[in-house]
Amino acid sequence: MTVKKALITGIGGQDGSYLAELLLEKGYEVHGTARRVPDFVHRRANRHGTDRLILHYGDLTNGTRLVGLLEEIQPDEVYHLAAQSHVRVSFDEPEFTGNTTGLGTIRLLEAIRNTGLTCRFYQASSSEMFGAAPPPQHENTPFHPRSPYGVAKVYAYWATRNYREAYGMYAVNGILFNHESPRRGPTFVTRKIATAAARVKAGLQDTVHLGNLDARRDWGYAAEYVHAMWLMLQQDQPDDYVIATGTSHSVRDFAEHCFAHLGLDYRDHIRFDERQLRPSDVDHVVGDASKAHRVLGWKAATHAPELARLMVDAELGALNSVPGAAPGTAAGSSVPG
């Protein structure tokens, strides 16, 4: 039986790590681009080797490199996750965000076209494209992005659809609403709050500084969302799908759940920090993922309150763990580590 090959751009990010683990479980040979050896690869290398996990150095701003990688790997499926993904940062670095998050996608699509590969392509589209559009948002809701990041994602969304229509590529947009986990980057609000709650409980800090507490998000669990990505590339026809829980909570609600899980009152520990505000924010998103349920058979199982508890428990576990031994060397890696 031939082994399927997948290429994941941004394999070291939150979603890249969960998706790599899912595809390895399914028997894939998994290639990933990264700019340093990711933590989860260190953990795997320590556990049981990485024969079917191969890392490549790759930057989205270099189209020639992308062509070379595709020629070398010859993937069956490409999951394009790499991006400058922080919304607040995109206001400080709008041009860089446009170059990576927007143009990076068309560079990769064009690299696939130029190499003549017939691989399937997944684009990590985002609920940030809906921005100010009233909830609930679904596949046909008009976009109204509220940040340079959202604008770049709209460009990438349409590039993906255009390559599907113009060249008949199997190219899909997964329009994913916020999804979190203990592997979330530390500067995103859920992880920031979960970390702070655990550290307050442990007596390591007393307060956390946050911006807009009224913003409402549809928060799901990243480990479940990567399964939807895979399902989208297994269909007979390429199409676009919203992936969400269908419920929304405010940042304040999330903080309340995290602190209450530890017997604490969030109001005693949160301080307002003007610097965390954005020139324009997304007030309220709630996804309607009924198409994904109907066609892909996918449905979110974990909702925000449970997610908050799960993240806080992971932070407590990390605080209580003994500092680990030196990480192992990742096999098959051309990434400096």
Query: Active-site residue 321, yes or no?
Result: no
Q: Using the rule CB under 6 A, is 160 a contact of ligand NDP?
A: no
Residue 100, binding choice from ligand NDP, ligand GDR, none, Cβ under 5 to 8 Å by partner class:
ligand NDP
Q: Using the rule CB under 6 A, is 114 a contact of ligand GDR?
A: no
Number of H helices, E strands in the chain: 12, 13
Q: Using the rule CB under 6 A, is 137 a contact of ligand NDP?
A: no
Point out the residue whose Cβ comes nearest to ligand NDP.
13
CB nearer to ligand NDP: give 187 or 207: 187
- Strands 241-243 and 270-272 turn out to be unpaired
Among the candidate windows 63-71, 123-131, 256-264, 310-318, which touches ligand GDR by CB under 6 A?
A: 123-131
DSSP string for 250-262: EHHHHHHHHHHHT
Structure-token pair, residue 27: 């028997």
Q: Which of 126, 147, 248, 333 is catalytic?
A: 126
Q: Using the rule CB under 6 A, is 82 a contact of ligand NDP?
A: yes
Closest contact distance (angstroms) between CB of 85 and ligand GDR is 4
Residue 98, binding choice from ligand GDR, ligand NDP, none, Cβ under 5 to 8 Å by partner class:
none
Among the candidate windows 158-166, 209-217, 226-234, 236-244, which touches ligand GDR by CB under 6 A?
A: 209-217
Instruction: Determine the Cα–Cα distance for residues 244 and 246; give it in Å rounded to an integer.
Output: 6
Please report, as a single letter, which amino acid is at residue 178.
N
Half-sphere exposure of 93 (CA within 13 A, CB side): 13
CB nearer to ligand NDP: give 39 or 206: 39
Please choose, from the candidates 130, 139, 129, the residue with its C-alpha nearest in 3D space to the C-alpha of residue 83: 129
- Residue 248's alpha-carbon distances to 219, 251, 283, in angstroms, are 7, 10, 11
Query: Active-site residue 127, yes or no?
Result: no
Report how far apart the first and last C-alpha atoms of the chain are (Å, whole number).
33
Contact yes or no for 146/128 (Cβ under 8 A): yes
CB nearer to ligand GDR: give 53 or 208: 208
Query: Active-site residue 126, yes or no?
Result: yes
Q: Using the rule CB under 6 A, is 233 a contact of ligand NDP?
A: no
